[in-house]
Amino acid sequence: MMRTPLEQRTTQLLSRRDFLIRLGWYWLFGSIFLSFSLGVGTVGYHLTAGLNWVDAFLNASMILTGMGPVDKLETTTAKLFASFYAIFSGVSFLTFCGVLFTPIYHRFIHKFHLDLGDKNL
């Protein structure tokens, strides 16, 4: 029998220990994904705008969190990169949040269904 990543409506709620392990895996994956997104921005700003690594990291961090750019970009290439990175960052940050909160939301909904019992099956 193949195990599904999240328990089904008819199965018991995971123990607190197993839930925390699952939560840890989701947070690890989300953190890796966020680090990758930040790395893309840092390298991109460094290569296209000629910013030093710290300034490139600062700009990527500010864009990724929705705060906005810090340095004025002079070249067309840098401006195009910043535009596409801003779009990518919006999707990345929302994906990151979705990954982090998926196990919590699923546990809440699963417990709600268990509390209802077989009445609505």
* Residue 10, pLDDT above cutoff 90: no
Residue 2: per-residue pLDDT = 44
Confidence of residue 32 (pLDDT cuts 50, 70, 90): very high
As to burial, measured by CB atoms within 10 angstroms (0-12 exposed, 13-18 middle, 19+ buried), residue 101 is middle
Question: Is residue 30 in some structural domain?
Answer: yes
Residue 2 lies in a domain: no
pLDDT at residue 19, as a whole number: 85
Q: Which domain holds residue 91?
A: 17-115
Return the residue matching tokens 């999707």: 91
Q: 77, 71, 44, 48: which is closest to 58 by C-alpha?
A: 71
Within-domain flag for 107: yes
The pLDDT tens digits for 57-74 are 999 999 998 888 899 999
Assigned domain for 77 exists:
yes
In a domain, 12, yes or no: no
For residue 70, being part of any structural domain is answered with: yes
Of 29-38, 59-68, 95-104, 108-117, least confident by mean pLDDT is 108-117
CATH number of the CATH domain containing 106 = 1.10.287
Contact 39, 32 (CB under 8 A): no
HSE-up (13 A, CA, CB side) for residue 2 = 2
Counting the structural domains of the chain, the total is 1
Q: Give the percent of the chain with pLDDT over 70.
A: 84
